[in-house]
Structure 1
């Protein structure tokens, strides 16, 4: 789908960056996994310069994992998601995830530019908007 980015489909885990992020969650102690997600979200929210696609992919993966625990959330069943159990996330991660997703969609975001260049920008934005809708319930 996006050449040169290690992306094979439009799903939140269908790229090398998200798969690597999932691996980092699996490599961490269970007690550290929520903090890894919180850090990815916070770092993105605080980014004022150009947002790298790798950071944006980690946010999408994080938001999908948080949304999976929300009412109406879709379980993460992809082979590229974390294999090890995740803790029940603190509810305060939901608004952080929404803020981080807003930053991913904002100007100066490499991932949006890549999806737009590949002709899949609207489909990408719909996936992010759907995630936000679950997180806001």
Structure 2
């Protein structure tokens, strides 16, 4: 069937990733997610795992402030581990790589409205995955000395 909607798990490849995550031992799930993201970041040429990387990024974003839970029948059924903070950066890099690929996923949409919805989803994931801004509450100087 291929792709049936614009969500992170609304395609065959991402649904297959969800099945692989459900079939993996709990301690192997982070490794699977990290591998998909790293291969996407480091890929040259065609991004063969771009759809899986978007799904992986969505799973990480779901654990971040402002993230949305994965609420689809095509996502993993089993609980994901608490992902380490460094995966946020890797996921954001993978999404940037996917968005920069002019012949990749963004070019696959026939309906421009679907393309816009997909890009909105990816942009939201990028914002959620972005590291929090540095606190401005820390004084630069100690004026009481």
Same fold (TM over 0.5): yes
Out of 72, 80, 88, the position equivalent to 1:78 is 72
TM-superposed CA distance for 1:8, in Å, is 1.1
What is the RMSD computed on CA atoms of the aligned residues? 1.3
The 8 Å contact of residues 51 and 109 in structure 1, kept in 2 or not, is answered as: no
Hey, what's the Cα distance between the residues in 2 that align with 1:72 and 1:82? 20
2:40 aligned partner: 44
Q: TM-score, normalised by structure 1?
A: 0.89
Out of 16, 23, 26, the position equivalent to 2:19 is 23
Q: TM-score, normalised by structure 2?
A: 0.84
TM-superposed CA distance for 1:109, in Å, is 4.2
Q: Deviations over 1:10-47 (max 9, x none)?
A: 11111111100000001110000001000000000001
Hey, what's the Cα distance between the residues in 2 that align with 1:129 and 1:19? 21
User: Which 5+ residue runs of structure 2 have no aligned equivalent?
Assistant: 133-145
TM-superposed CA distance for 1:48, in Å, is 1.6
Hey, what's the Cα distance between the residues in 2 that align with 1:42 and 1:6? 24
1:126 aligned partner: 120
Hey, what's the Cα distance between the residues in 1 that align with 2:102 and 2:41? 13
Q: Deviations over 1:41-86 (max 9, x none)?
A: 000000121223xx11101110110000001110111111101111
User: Which 5+ residue runs of structure 1 have no aligned equivalent?
Assistant: none
Out of 4, 9, 13, the position equivalent to 1:8 is 4
Hey, what's the Cα distance between the residues in 2 that align with 1:73 and 1:118? 27
Hey, what's the Cα distance between the residues in 2 that align with 1:118 and 1:47? 27
Name segments (4+ residues, structure 1) moved above 4 Å.
none
Hey, what's the Cα distance between the residues in 1 that align with 2:43 and 2:9? 22
